[in-house]
Amino acid sequence: MLQAVLKIGGSLARDAALPELCRELSVCGLKHPVLVVPGGGLFADAVRDCHRRFPLGESAAHWMAILGMDQFGLLLADLTPGARTVTDPDAAAATAKEGHVPILLPSAWLRRLDPLPHSWDVTSDSIAAWTAASLRASTVVLVKDRDGLYGDDPRRDAWASHRPVMGLDELPACRGVDSHLPKVLAQYGLECWVINGKRPERLAALLATGHTEGTRVPPLAC
């Protein structure tokens, strides 16, 4: 069983720290069974640009953005020593069991199951959470380019500071994650963390101890 699903935000592709994060992913994969879900980043941004310029339907934009996740996944796999790309949950579990980092190229699997709405409300955040639930991982870690989530104070930028804990009921007003994510977390009872990928040691600490610097969104109490 996977310990966690790690969404590596596409915004990190713009940062020189990405190779260091990928090296840390490789080390973590030797100790912890994890699965990496890639963000969309520059590739999804190209789809957003097309959506603004042309009368592109929601479904076309949805699948184009998911193909962008595949592209970023190939980049992550090339930068992560010992990583292997996978396209389905069975391959992910087998790869993690061998001590390698499985990096999901999600388009084929999602196309077959089509589990989520076709909307920009759904990004790789929600896809990572749905993937965690599907693979029975209790935790989804959103590795982004900032320290965590701030909240809904309109006087402050969403990334100006971060809260160590944020309730699930507060997420809909938070601009740091996609708007569909709270529904997925609530439906499946998942724990969620938002941490800074520019500080790879925080990911290592989270996987080793269950705690780190960032924002934790606890699961709903049963």
Q: Say how far apart CA 210 and CA 23 lie, in whole Å.
A: 20
Q: Which residues of the chain have pLDDT under 70?
A: 151-160, 221-222
Number of residues assigned to the chain:
222
Query: Would you state the pLDDT for residue 156?
Result: 54
Contact 9, 39 (CB under 8 A): yes
Mean pLDDT (the chain, rounded): 92
Distances (CA, A) of 94 to 88, 140, 158: 10, 19, 38
Query: Would you state the pLDDT for residue 221?
Result: 63
The token duo for 52 is 């603004």
Query: Would you state the pLDDT for residue 82?
Result: 94
Distances (CA, A) of 138 to 2, 53, 59, 151: 8, 40, 29, 24
Query: Would you state the pLDDT for residue 154?
Result: 46
Query: Would you state the pLDDT for residue 70?
Result: 97
Expressed in percent and rounded to 5, the helix, strand and coil fractions of the chain are 45, 15, 40
Could you tell me which of 114, 92, 78 has the C-alpha nearest to residue 36? 92
Q: Say how far apart CA 106 and CA 113 lie, in whole Å.
A: 11
Scored b (16 or more CB within 10 A) or e, 4-31 reads bbbbbbbbbbeeeebebbbebbbebbee
Single-letter residue type at 115: P
Query: Would you state the pLDDT for residue 14?
Result: 85
Query: Would you state the pLDDT for residue 15?
Result: 79
Give the strand pairing for 34-38 and 84-86: unpaired
Rg (the chain; Cα; Å): 16
